[in-house]
Amino acid sequence: MNEKFSYKRIFILGFGFFGISIIWALYNAYVPVFLKDFALSSFIIGIVMVIDNVFAIVMLPYLGALSDKTRTRLGRRMPYILIGAPSAAIFFALIPVARAHKNLALMMGTIILMNFFMAVFRSPVIALMPDITPSRFRSQANGIINFMGGLGALFAYFGGKALYDINYALPFYVGAAMMLIANLLVVIFIKEPEEYRKPSKEKVKLWELLKKTSHESFGELKENLKDVFASQEKSLLFILLAIFLWFIAFNSLETFFTSYAKFELGIKESTGAFLLGLFALGFMVFSIPAGFIGGRIGRKKTITLGLFVIIAVMLIALYLGTQAASGKIEVNFVVKAFAGLFLLGGFGWGMVNVNSLPMVVDMTTEEKVGGYTGLYYFFSMAANIFAPPLSGIAIDHFGYQSLLIFATIFFVLALIAVQFVRRGDIVGQKPQDIYELIPDMD
């Protein structure tokens, strides 16, 4: 490990996250609307939209562990990026082509292959950060790359609207090109540590390597899940349950809100994506203050306050959307109101999201931090598998107006679950205290 820390190098690595975020934001915003062209029910569309999360749960831990054991002249992570990023970009760009040909088989083929190749390189890109960053600087580095990921999402939502209004295929072509260029910058300018760029002299059979990697990657997750349910003190179980519930709520909105905007409010799907962008902007702007608030009044209180804010936003939006759909309020007024509400909702989401992972990892020992981080992502990804089909069933039976009701119910359930959490909190820290703790939180 090179003990030198370079902000420039971390910003370059952040382009990898920038490109990935562009793809996912565009995919979640527009693909559900495309699938509606094929007369699919919202439940079936929800099933299609969980393919990425199925690949994530199955492949990301495995490929992360497999890349740990890889040794090539380029390094242990770069081969996966070189294979995955160009392939994912090609199939992502083919999605609007499949829509134009009105060919469901082609559409499903491109979606499945795009999701597969995204999974191939996501975990290795994430793993590059600790590879090239000394332990005491990883918190700062993580903040930078998440900032870059946030910029990518904002570009997709705001820039994507302008491109979509010209031609619905343009966001996909431009997004694919930007993701490819972004990851090319990572490959060209990021050099992995020397020890990972020396091909292994030990001859290992491929099948044996794959089998061993599978046992190691999923064995640790199995053991940590046992800890969750076997422990007499249930704080870890309840915070993970809360995470599961609020990600069901959030992912249902992320998946179907553009469809709600088009089919319920009668506005362009690109305008719906723009409103989602304001939610992302609110989250990005309030992420750092949310950390300070969590350190000052406590993480549990901050998460609780954030959930109250989001629930209030959902209830007001539900009322306004219902009034607009019935013609009692002008749609233009509702769009402007939604803009302000979603920006505020992003503030609340920042209070929830920024403080939840620290709560999880502070419930264990230093040796298990990585494993408990894996638990956090396992429960959030599992929620993303359940959310689209469940909310799709609600939409099929009760219409698109049920989307905001569905999300509100799960945010309320998450709020209840958080109240049973008794550990993983810190209270009474001033901002400078938090900065002093950063080296100890790696």
The pLDDT, as a whole number, for residue 4 is: 67
Lowest-confidence segment of 119-128, 193-202, 371-380 by average pLDDT: 193-202
Per-residue pLDDT tens over the stretch 318-374: 999 999 988 889 989 999 999 999 999 999 998 898 888 778 877 766 555 556 666
Task: Say yes or no to pLDDT of 66 above 90.
Answer: no
- Least trusted range by pLDDT, from 43-52, 97-106, 227-236, 295-304: 227-236
What is the DSSP track for 144-187?
A: HHHHHHHHHHHIIIIIHHHHHHH-TTHHHHHHHHHHHHHHHHHH
Tell me the mean pLDDT in the region 182-188: 93
Across the chain, what does the average pLDDT equal?
A: 84
Measured CA to CA, the distance from residue 277 to residue 162 in angstroms comes to 13
Give residue 231's region: left, alpha or beta (phi > 0; psi -120 to 50): beta
Task: Tell me the pLDDT tens digit for each residue of 261-319.
Answer: 999 999 999 999 999 999 989 988 888 788 788 888 888 999 999 999 999 999 999 99
Cα-based distances in Å from 290 to 23, 120, 299: 26, 33, 9
DSSP 90-134: HHHHHHHHHHHTT-HHHHHHHHHHHHHHHHHHHHHHHHHHHHHS-
SS (H, E, C) 14-74: HHHHHHHHHHHHHHHHHHHHHHHCCCCCHHHHHHHCCHHHHHHHHHHHHHHHHHHHCCCCC
Q: Which of 216-220, 252-256, 377-381 has the lowest mean pLDDT?
A: 216-220
Given a contact cutoff of 8 angstroms between Cβ atoms, the answer to whether 53 and 385 are in contact is yes
